[in-house]
Amino acid sequence: MRKIRLFLAIFSFTLLCVSAYAQGAQDLGFNLIVVGDTQPQTEAQITRLERDIIPQIGAVVEEYMATGYPTAILLTGDVVWDTMSFLPRVKAAFEALGVPVYAVIGNHDHNKRHTKNQARAEQNFVDTFGSRNHSFMLGSTLFVTFDNIDYTSFSGYGEKIDADQLIWLAEVMEGAGDVQRVAVCMHASACDFTTEQLKAYVKPVVGIIGDREIHFITGHRHHHDTADVSPTIIEHNVSQVNGNLWFSPIGSDGMPYGVFCIEERDGAWQWHHRLLGKSRDEQLVVWGEGSVKEHEEYVVAKVIGWDKMWRVVWYEDGVAMGEMEQIEILDPDYMYYVESVADYREKYMRRLRRSAHKHKHYYRLRRTSADSHITIVATDRFGREFTYEM
């Protein structure tokens, strides 16, 4: 009975917030900073999070607050790395930035001391961040968060959204009025990124939301990926903010550490990956000839925040040379770090090597003249152009 009363209280508050905010916020925009898998496990790691990473995120917060639009932070789960005592500390550090902080629960946010009892395993997270499922409005978008980790034990978990959660979503949607965009925030991914098809457990969620624009925002995989599931459904899978499990400043897919930024203006969304400590316009990393193994005769470029809608062209001495050739490779900077800089215990070195994988966000060009001037222009799906000169 206590659980039923608690559910009804949370649900009533949720509907009140959604209805009241929706009436007054339809024409507003927002800024959302999505932070992937913070995951500190040791005192040294959480200290780096507090003293290095969060202050750099704070600079992005300040930049966004100057726009006059509401700004918030979303943590995509694995807020900690099985160190339950760090949960309040991470929350407090982010809240000190002065904007609302939302979080979804990840597999490493479950207390591994409790096996075969999901409610007990989740209690530390719930005590810190509140209900495992909640909803809120930003601008004209309804956000819903789900616990999609079906937890049995530390190594025994799957992905699931249960019947009670679907009932909760149906009731939230009944109170959503004319909201036309829903962001579904979870830890584990909603689709298979090889096929860009939704996983079976997610399809009932889509059915309940109905004929609305849907954005899934997820983490867990520690990679940056975007899946255009359909004209109205997209998934944003956010890379780990700290690189690769605190052992490399670059993700194993080549994504430098940073955050995923979503901006709503006049009812429309745009997004980009923001490198921490860098300008939002820095979306290209370029290596000259001789720098990339097996591509020594080429200039190679990496597109930050790439998806299949990007177009990358190049100019030689001002003459248009067409599109650059897309290639799928291991990230040169990541591999250099693993092979020449990293010096950890062998088990961590094995992890760094094993997690390296090829990605499609690389392009190459071959000059016709050794001393020619090269201009690379990358254009994202929103028509924003990013230029690199060499």
Domain spans in the chain, listed from the N-terminal domain onward: 2-275, 284-389
Q: What is the rounded CA–CA span in Å between residue 229 and residue 64?
A: 29
Bridge partners (DSSP) listed for residue 300: 287, 364
Phi (first) and psi of residue 207, to 5 degrees:
-60, -40
Q: Who contacts 37 (Cβ-Cβ below 8 Å, separation ≥6)?
A: 76, 77, 78, 106, 219, 220, 222, 238, 240, 241, 242
Pairing of strands 135-138, 299-303: unpaired
Q: Who contacts 69 (Cβ-Cβ below 8 Å, separation ≥6)?
A: 28, 29, 30, 31, 139, 263, 264, 265
Q: What is the rounded CA–CA span in Å between residue 165 and residue 135?
A: 12
- What is the model's pTM? 0.92
CATH match for 2-275 among 3.30.70.20, 1.10.10.10, 3.40.920.10, 3.60.21.10: 3.60.21.10
Q: What is the rounded CA–CA span in Å between residue 374 and residue 390?
A: 5
Per the CB < 8 A criterion, the answer to whether 216 and 186 are in contact is yes
Angle, helices 163-174/2-25, rounded to nearest 10 degrees: 40
| Cβ-count burial 112-151 (b if 16+ within 10 Å, e if not) | eebeeebeebbebbeebbebbbbbbbbbbbbbbbbbbbbb
Following DSSP, what letter does each residue of 145-180 receive, concatenated? E---EEESSSS-EEE---HHHHHHHHHHHHT-TT--
Per the CB < 8 A criterion, the answer to whether 365 and 325 are in contact is yes
| Cβ-count burial 311-342 (b if 16+ within 10 Å, e if not) | ebbbbbeeeebeebeebebbbbbbbebbeeee
* Residue 284 zone, left/alpha/beta (φ > 0; ψ -120 to 50; rest): beta
One-letter identity of residue 31: N
pLDDT < 70: residue spans in the chain: 1-27
Question: What's the start-to-end Cα distance of the chain, in Å?
Answer: 68
